[in-house]
A and B are shown apart, each in its own frame.
Chain A
């Protein structure tokens, strides 16, 4: 899923300083999964901001709403009758959600409450790890299902670099060396010889290409 973390409270407060009526908008998908923007987190942030306003003698009226997905118009449309009553929307959606809401309601001020971070997996309760960089040219099959673009700090395709220590990356002793994993897995499967050939340079145009990427499926469009 896409992971995100709540921005420092000081940043959020600064963005909403002038507002007295706020719609606080959560999202029930990725950010709920990583405990940063779901219904629960929305309620907590709202409560925190209300208490803070009381403490500072400000008026702040809030409404909490959580959409199934903030990046899909079908759900954003639910805000139609509601959004006009508020000075601004504090969105706990990921960057995609914030922007989608802003497109549907361009005159509203949609304030991001989260810093969107990465595509990752839930490794354990409370622990999320990045494992995909959306390179658009998936090579997992060559690397025993360990993504070198994401999990090797240097993105090597012909690693390891030689800097790892105790099977951990030289950059962070908590990060496993991706190439250690790749080589060990292939060895266990008896497929180490697949690494003999030099893996050619990546096609970064699939990622960086021509600006923001898009997918258009004619069979899906009305």
Chain B
């Protein structure tokens, strides 16, 4: 399948349950498109934070996909529902600053088992691009690992109580 020749950059956040062999399967596209494509496997789509999408866009992704398991098929019950809401929230944030909210797109796989991440990504890439390249010039790129490392520091609001700084303080 032909990959996009339009020069856009993409980020794919997706639930690992969709493709057990995703680590292998994504290599071919990574090789073809190099820095123009980044894959972020998640233990559950519900681990996506709006901030991840923002950071992906900030570091050059023209289009960000979040791919979740089908309705009612989430292994963690509500992960995909949560992911949908967080994507919607991130869409509102970029719409607020005048960017096309469609730069963030939430999708559910049609069924499990799903096609490989390679197939899914190629289908999406083959679509008519509906977003323009980001309006600013040079695209600084952080190595993909950077974003995920930050992810571990974030608290996962909604999954458990926020862990605030544990330092006890008394005034006197």
Contact = CB atoms under 8 A, between A and B. Distances in A.
Q: Do chains A and B touch in the complex (CB under 8 A)?
A: yes
Interface of A: 9, 28-29, 32-33, 35, 38-40, 43-44, 47-48, 50-52, 54-55, 57, 68, 72, 74, 125, 220, 222
B96 A55 contact: no
Contact of A48 (B97, B162, B164, B171): B97
Contact of B136 (A28, A43, A57, A125): A57
Interface stretch (B6-14, B63-71, B121-129, B151-159): B151-159
Interface in B140-172: 154-155, 157-158, 162, 164-165, 167, 169, 171-172
B98 A55 contact: yes
Given A9-B96, A48-B54, A54 B136 contact: yes
A149 B8 CA distance: 57
B167 A43 contact: no
Given A28-B164, A48-B93, A68-B169, A40 B58 contact: no
Q: Which of under 10, 10 to 19, 20 to 34, or 35 or more describes the interface residues of B?
A: 20 to 34
A51 B169 contact: no
Contacts of B49: 40
A171 to B, nearest CB: 29
Given A48-B54, A55-B136, A68 B155 contact: no
A35 B157 contact: yes
Given A32-B162, A47-B54, A47-B58, A55 B157 contact: no
Interface string B85-108: 000000001101111000000000
B15 interface: no
Nearest to B169: A74
B99 A55 contact: yes
Nearest to B55: A47
Given A28-B164, A39-B155, A50-B58, A9 B97 contact: yes
